[in-house]
Amino acid sequence: MFTPVDVVQEVFRRIRERGNDYVWTELVSEQDAISEAERISAAEYSRNVSPLFGIPFSVKDNVHVTGMHTTCGCDGFDLLPHTSAASVAKAIAAGAIFIGKNTLDQFATGLNGTRTLGGYCRNVFDERYIPGGSSSGSGVAVAAGLVSFSLGSDTGGSGRVPAAMNNIVGVKPTLGLVSSGGMIYNNRFFDCVPVFARTVEDGYAVLETIRGFDVVDDFSRPDADSIPLKVDVADRFVFAMPHTEQLEFFGDSHAETAFEKAVEAMERAGGQSMKIDFSMFIEAGRLPFDSGLLAERAVSYGDVLKTRPETVHPAVAAMIRKGLDYSGTETVHAIYKMNELRNKARQMFQKFDVLMTPTVGRAYTCDELKADPIGLNNNIGYYTYPISPLDLCALALPASIRGDGIPFGVSLVAAAGRDGVLRTLGERFQRQVRLKPGIDQKGAPVSEKHEQAR
């Protein structure tokens, strides 16, 4: 039986073996991590009373950890917080062992993982392809087996896209279910702390530990402690998906074929499909990055563009400038539109249990994103951008390994507070596709990959 010290030593061995993979912005020292492992062991923690006992984890570098720098991937922005984010503190209190801070698209602005002024981490299946962002380092750290889970941030898909691109699970909770206190915000209406994990069971075990009402977080839900995270769902259930003409794969035939197989897997799990008009989602998807709500970017980190412009990635700088061009009137109208669409979404989701979409419509290469950083990034967010503006929760799931060897994932989406439904149906879906998590699937025999895709 492995001890927490054994686990920590293996983690650092794997990190050293990968070399400079651009997954980390800062690591704790191995000796400090071993000391923490010894401390929790000596305190006679047990799996019964400490649900995350001895489990290694990491944190995206826009979430505060006491004594660790918060840089958001920008040399011109560097904080040394004295208090950890509420989610981090809860994970540590539950016996998890913190390993380090993860790289990200600068200021968590982007869904591809290439928006850095230095090197960037790569997809664990094929380094030519994007790792997904903005929580790129967090997704790769879990997929590569360096940590068991990671905490990121999600505004428009950052907790789901890296999961899809690297064959792991991304849990995007109901807004306000997990305190966002201790995070550098993009937009407080949309921001949340997602969990990257190897399996649905692992992801929700972490979520159960870090969730809860936070009196100092103005966006925390008062019912955050009572929302059920495990519920029964009938053997037969209804899942919606966009009308065929609204499904976008941006010319990626591998993704289109993979989604068809994922739908079949969901039907084998007991689901009955129905088609819905996706227009409302497309409209909602424009709000985070194409409305007055974008102006909030300047509140959190706009000063860096004035004082240290050379440290800001051009695509990020363009987003900040765009946000500043909106008037107060336009921002108010955007808030009104958001509430209107949320009301429509609440009515729509009474007709089915979950919505199922691709997480990413097309797998892009790093070179493609660098050639068109704005347009292609928007394509990546086609399915993920709408979810938080509509106040929905989501679960990104590995679905198959495509014919070209790249992972393909789907997202299950539910109404706010229905996180437990996602958990139950997500576990059923995982039993159908039977994929090994993360990079472990990369070594599976070809015949096994084909069997799991059927």
Separation between Cα atoms, residue 376 and residue 368, nearest integer Å: 8
> Catalytic pick from 134, 220, 291, 400?
134
Which of 261, 262, 256 minimizes the C-alpha distance to 244? 256
DSSP 8-class letter at 2: -
Strands, sheet with 271-276, edge to edge from the N-terminal-most edge strand: 24-27, 97-102, 56-60, 149-151, 195-197, 169-172, 392-401, 407-415, 354-358, 237-242, 271-276
Q: CB-based contacts of 168: which residues, under 8 Å, 6+ apart?
A: 139, 142, 143, 162, 196, 197, 198, 398, 437, 438
Which phi and psi (to 5°) does residue 435 adopt? -90, 145
Separation between Cα atoms, residue 97 and residue 82, nearest integer Å: 18
Report which secondary-structure segment, H or E, holds 25: strand 24-27
Is 101 considered catalytic here? no
Quick one: tokens of 135?
């929580």
Is 158 considered catalytic here? yes
Report which secondary-structure segment, H or E, holds 208: helix 200-210
The strand pairing partners of 271, in sequence order, are 237
Separation between Cα atoms, residue 150 and residue 57, nearest integer Å: 5
Beta strand pairing call for 237-242 and 56-60: unpaired
> Catalytic pick from 58, 136, 158, 180?
158
Is 134 considered catalytic here? yes
> Catalytic pick from 50, 60, 135, 138?
60
Separation between Cα atoms, residue 231 and residue 276, nearest integer Å: 25
Residues tagged active-site: 60, 134, 158
